[in-house]
């Protein structure tokens, strides 16, 4: 097992605040397994118990404008509550900026030094205002060429501007060609990349082979295991039905990756697959990322619980 198998295991949870970076240009140092959970500004709040099972919380989304400014944070009280609970438990909170459908705004704002500066100031302002631990940039599909160069410049300028010790991460596509626009120059700028190994893999949505292919793709491009975080879905396709709703409709859904949900065959990751992906991430990455935490159940069918069972099993095997 890699060094990321050296976990801090409690009776139920794997918790880590992470080690503060020593300067604004050095990556996050950690010998614990990252468990990064996205929460959103809409829908129900993640419970405190769910948050306590994470090492990082990503609040989605701050939305960019083409001029480099940001729209006002939606439901800031939610972000403030997440920060309060997370920091009380030694968990880091990042603002996630962008998301699916905002590529054009990123293309425009990153194209000139002036609008990049406005964006960097806006993101830094949000980090400071809400006392956050970093920023997660979700410009999902920069194209090779000019777009890729602009993405690199944007990330480098953010790194310089963010306070020392602040995390800088990005959510990126699982495989080429959608991932090809994220240049290798970014690797030395970010603390880690969240690999979105879902919404692909054909009709299966997020099968094991897709996760394996994502890790191999980024490894071959030179991204180290310590900077790779494997993304997993807590929802199904072709509908975006939350895992919790699937289990509510059919408790057997927890043990498989495909069910007939009200007449539609849906694909997702059940407990066994999430456990296997956790083991894969322990071997070839430094953590696992979840979209989204609130899609989980809160009983013995929980996918978060499956992650921790896999971690605890690995720790016991290492003793």
Averaged pLDDT score across all residues of the chain? 91
pLDDT of residue 187: 98
| Distance between CA atoms of residues 112 and 212, nearest Å | 37
Residues 242-246, mean pLDDT to the nearest whole number: 98
- Predicted confidence (pLDDT) per residue in 254-263, tens digit: 999 999 999 9
Whether residue 249 is predicted with pLDDT greater than 70 in this model: the reply is yes
pLDDT of residue 202: 85
Whether residue 318 is predicted with pLDDT greater than 80 in this model: the reply is no
pLDDT of residue 3: 29
- Predicted confidence (pLDDT) per residue in 140-194, tens digit: 899 999 999 999 999 999 999 999 999 999 999 999 999 999 999 999 999 999 9
Whether residue 26 is predicted with pLDDT greater than 60 in this model: the reply is no
Whether residue 24 is predicted with pLDDT greater than 60 in this model: the reply is no
pLDDT of residue 20: 30
Residues ≥6 apart with Cβ < 8 Å to 288: 33, 34, 35, 36, 229, 230, 231, 232, 277, 278, 281, 307
The answer to whether 251 and 243 have CB atoms below 8 angstroms apart is no
pLDDT of residue 29: 61
The answer to whether 16 and 8 have CB atoms below 8 angstroms apart is yes
Whether residue 233 is predicted with pLDDT greater than 60 in this model: the reply is yes
Residues 205-221, mean pLDDT to the nearest whole number: 98
The answer to whether 286 and 226 have CB atoms below 8 angstroms apart is yes
Lowest mean pLDDT segment, chosen from 28-42, 169-183, 220-234 = 28-42
With bands split at pLDDT 50, 70 and 90, how would you rate the model's confidence at 113?
very high
- Asked: is 3-237+270-314 a CATH 3.20.20.80 domain? The reply is yes
With bands split at pLDDT 50, 70 and 90, how would you rate the model's confidence at 201?
confident
The partner residues of 193 in beta bridges, in order of sequence, read 170, 228
| Distance between CA atoms of residues 284 and 104, nearest Å | 33
pLDDT of residue 21: 31
- Predicted confidence (pLDDT) per residue in 53-86, tens digit: 999 999 999 999 999 999 999 999 999 999 999 9
pLDDT of residue 27: 59
Pairing of strands 56-62, 258-261: unpaired
Pick from 160, 95, 86, 89: nearest CA to 129? 95
pLDDT of residue 48: 97
The pTM for the full model equals 0.91
């Amino acid at each position: 097992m890699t060094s990321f198998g050296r976990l801090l295991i409690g009776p139920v949870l794997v918790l880590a605040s992470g080690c503060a970076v020593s300067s604004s240009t050095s990556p996050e140092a950690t010998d614990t397994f990252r468990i990064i959970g996205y929460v959103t500004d809409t829908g129900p709040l993640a419970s405190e118990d769910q948050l306590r099972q994470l090492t990082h919380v990503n609040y989605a989304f701050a939305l960019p404008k083409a001029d480099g400014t940001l729209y006002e944070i939606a439901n800031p009280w939610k972000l403030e509550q997440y920060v309060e609970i997370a920091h009380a438990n030694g968990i880091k909170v990042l603002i996630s900026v962008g998301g699916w459908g905002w590529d054009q705004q990123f293309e425009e704002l990153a194209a000139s030094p002036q609008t990049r500066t406005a964006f960097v100031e806006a993101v830094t302002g949000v980090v400071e205002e809400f006392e956050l631990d970093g920023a997660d940039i979700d410009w999902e599909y920069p194209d090779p060429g000019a777009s890729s160069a602009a993405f690199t410049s944007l990330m480098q300028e953010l790194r310089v501007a963010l306070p020392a010790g602040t995390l800088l991460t990005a959510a990126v596509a699982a495989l080429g060609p959608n991932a090809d626009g994220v240049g290798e120059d970014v690797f030395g700028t970010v603390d880690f990349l969240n690999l979105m190994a879902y919404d692909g893999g054909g009709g299966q949505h997020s099968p094991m082979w897709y996760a394996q292919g994502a890790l191999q793709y980024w490894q071959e491009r030179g991204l180290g295991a310590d900077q790779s975080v494997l993304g997993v879905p807590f929802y199904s396709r072709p509908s975006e039905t939350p895992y919790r709703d699937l289990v509510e409709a059919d408790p057997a859904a927890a043990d498989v990756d495909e069910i007939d949900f009200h007449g539609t065959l849906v694909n997702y990751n059940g407990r066994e697959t999430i456990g296997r992906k956790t083991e894969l991430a322990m071997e070839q990455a430094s953590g696992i990322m979840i979209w989204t935490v609130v899609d989980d159940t809160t009983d013995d069918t929980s996918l978060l619980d499956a992650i921790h069972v896999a971690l605890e099993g690995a720790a016991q095997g290492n003793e």
